[in-house]
């Protein structure tokens, strides 16, 4: 049987169909990701990250991260929150270079001075520069937040994953302990823990950590109850993987996206709790320039020398709002239910 006559409608349709067929990955190895892009070739790097046929697990992982970044970048409020957090971290890290005065030097002859060229944000009741104390205070306040997150996130993740995967008596025991901590308001329970120890930064970090882990455990348990019934977990059991290995290598990584979103959204409440402990005199102790402590010592001047208490209050507000905006953006990107 002879083929279609050139120029006929059948031949034209066959030609158009062949043109629409995808090019085999082997024909263009760069597009398929077989070869990494050359340095400086932005279009080829983008194609390497966004290809539908990754050549390795590393390329697939970087492609997923890049797609998540593109989705996150389309949220202007989340980008604004990320920018504010990065600026605050940079300012606190460069505090020795950016501070105009020593945060502990007292100038009683210049106490409660209004903002000026010499003191950008004025001085407090002891003549200390408010701008310099804000920079160094950010190290304490944000450092407490980071320390609390590093303590509570792994603890809550481990407790929740073990309870959800093991079930039975372990689930009931761990969840009842979690319910006991959830029955009390966080600040009240933190006050009780600090009162049982001694006021200070270390005591405040431990107290906040002891009250902040239960929501993470609840979230990890809910995720684990779904994950433990999946086929790949059953396949891991059939291959002889031990239960600790399944929890550490298969269950916990799947719970991480939801946990990251929850931790980011919870950082604002951690900042407020740390500032509240400092305001009540149970957190950082004077003369440490912690933001909550600065507001506590300046509250009697708020109507006349407003800058002494308002400036650290603005810093707490900006940090809390920035973490909330960042958490909302991460939730839209990492939570499958939001897609």
Render pLDDT for 46-104 as a digit per residue (tens, 0 to 9).
888 888 888 888 888 888 888 889 889 999 999 999 999 999 999 999 999 999 999 98
- Of 181, 163, 182, 164, the C-alpha closest to 173 is 163
Q: Which domains does the chain have, with CATH numbers?
A: 25-72 (no CATH), 76-338 (1.10.3720.10)
pTM of the model: 0.80
Render pLDDT for 267-313 as a digit per residue (tens, 0 to 9).
988 999 988 898 888 888 888 888 998 998 888 888 888 999 999 99
- Of 111, 60, 99, the C-alpha closest to 289 is 99
Say how far apart CA 239 and CA 249 lie, in whole Å: 14
Provide the 8-state DSSP code for 248.
Answer: I
109 contacts 127 by C-beta, under 8 angstroms: yes
264 contacts 323 by C-beta, under 8 angstroms: yes
Full DSSP string of 141-171:
HHHHHHHHHHHHHHHHHHHHHHHHHH-HHHH
Say how far apart CA 271 and CA 142 lie, in whole Å: 8
Q: Is 32 helix (H, G, I), strand (E, B) or coil?
A: helix
Neighbours of 200 (CB within 10 A): 16
9 contacts 17 by C-beta, under 8 angstroms: no
Render pLDDT for 17-42 as a digit per residue (tens, 0 to 9).
444 344 444 444 444 444 454 555 56
261 contacts 68 by C-beta, under 8 angstroms: no
CA distances from 88 to 68, 81, 139, 255, 332 (A): 24, 11, 10, 29, 24
């Amino acid at each position: 049987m002879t083929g279609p006559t050139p120029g006929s409608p059948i031949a034209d349709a066959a030609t158009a169909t062949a043109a629409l067929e995808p090019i085999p990955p082997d024909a263009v190895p760069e597009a398929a990701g077989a070869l990494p892009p050359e340095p400086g070739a932005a279009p080829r790097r983008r194609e390497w990250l966004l290809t539908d046929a990754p050549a390795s697990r590393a390329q697939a992982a970087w492609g997923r991260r890049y797609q998540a970044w593109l989705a996150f970048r389309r949220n202007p409020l989340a980008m604004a929150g990320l920018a504010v957090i990065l600026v605050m971290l940079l300012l606190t890290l460069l505090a020795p270079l950016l501070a105009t005065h020593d945060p502990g030097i007292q100038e009683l002859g210049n106490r409660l001075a209004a903002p000026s060229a010499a003191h950008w944000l004025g001085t407090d009741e002891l003549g200390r520069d408010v701008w310099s104390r804000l920079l160094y205070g950010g190290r304490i306040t944000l450092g407490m937040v980071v320390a609390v997150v590093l303590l509570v996130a792994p603890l809550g993740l481990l407790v929740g994953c073990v309870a959800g995967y093991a079930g039975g008596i372990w689930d009931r025991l761990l969840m009842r302990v979690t319910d006991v901590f959830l029955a009390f308001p966080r600040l009240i329970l933190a006050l009780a823990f600090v009162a049982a120890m001694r006021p200070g930064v270390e005591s405040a970090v431990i107290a906040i950590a002891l009250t902040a882990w239960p929501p993470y455990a609840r979230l990890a348990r809910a995720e684990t109850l779904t994950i433990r019934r999946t086929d790949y977990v059953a396949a891991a059991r059939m291959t002889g993987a031990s239960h600790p290995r399944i929890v550490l290598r298969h269950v916990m990584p799947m719970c991480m996206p939801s946990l990251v979103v929850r931790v980011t959204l919870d950082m604002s409440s951690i900042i407020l709790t740390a500032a509240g402990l400092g305001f009540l005199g149970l957190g950082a102790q004077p003369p440490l320039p912690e933001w909550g402590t600065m507001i506590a010592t300046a509250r009697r001047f708020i109507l006349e020398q407003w800058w002494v208490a308002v400036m650290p209050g603005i810093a707490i507000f900006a940090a809390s709002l920035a973490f909330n905006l960042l958490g909302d953006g991460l939730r839209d990107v990492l939570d499958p239910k939001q897609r």
